[in-house]
Amino acid sequence: MVPGPAAPGLGSSGNNGDLPIPGRIERFPLTGTIDRTRALTRLNRRPSQGMTEPVARFIITIIEAYFACGVLFAIPFVLRGAGKVEPVAQGGTWGFRVLIFPGSMTLWPYLLYRWVRTGR
């Protein structure tokens, strides 16, 4: 049995069957029959709400506060604290201190713990 021409709006997706277009009813490529269950679930699907704006703003505020504390910690740590926490870093050059600044800004809670612990 050869399938007849497709009814308007029920034809193929227009891209040779590679990717379906959402909202269109598709035909099986070999038999020409309509997959109604797949088509109906696509038409009835609601778009996901995702993350709301206040939640996203809250998360960004927390991240900004974390890195602000990191910058405030990293400046004195790079200048004085790195040599106390790790004796090898005492004779470090300015290039070395510039290189450890981003890491000390990111890992500031752990480095603060180590700096306080070595002060005892």
Q: Are residue 2 and residue 19 in the same domain, yes or no?
A: yes
Q: Are residue 88 and residue 113 in the same domain, yes or no?
A: yes
Out of 9, 24, 45, a domain closes at: 45
Do 13 and 21 meet the contact criterion of CB atoms below 8 Å apart? yes
Q: Are residue 105 and residue 69 in the same domain, yes or no?
A: yes
pTM over 0.95: no
Q: Are residue 65 and residue 103 in the same domain, yes or no?
A: yes
Q: Are residue 29 and residue 1 in the same domain, yes or no?
A: yes
Q: Are residue 77 and residue 97 in the same domain, yes or no?
A: yes
SS3 34: strand
Number of domains in the chain: 2
Q: Are residue 38 and residue 6 in the same domain, yes or no?
A: yes
Q: Are residue 110 and residue 75 in the same domain, yes or no?
A: yes
Distance separating alpha carbons of residues 85 and 30, to the nearest angstrom? 71
Do 73 and 99 meet the contact criterion of CB atoms below 8 Å apart? no
Q: Are residue 36 and residue 70 in the same domain, yes or no?
A: no
Distance separating alpha carbons of residues 90 and 36, to the nearest angstrom? 73
> Digits of tens for pLDDT over the chain (120 positions)?
555 555 555 554 455 555 656 656 555 566 656 555 665 565 555 555 667 888 999 999 999 999 999 999 999 999 998 988 988 888 889 999 999 999 999 999 999 999 999 875
Q: Domain limits at 89?
A: 53-118
Q: Are residue 8 and residue 62 in the same domain, yes or no?
A: no
Q: Are residue 72 and residue 20 in the same domain, yes or no?
A: no
CB atoms within 10 A of CB 2: 4
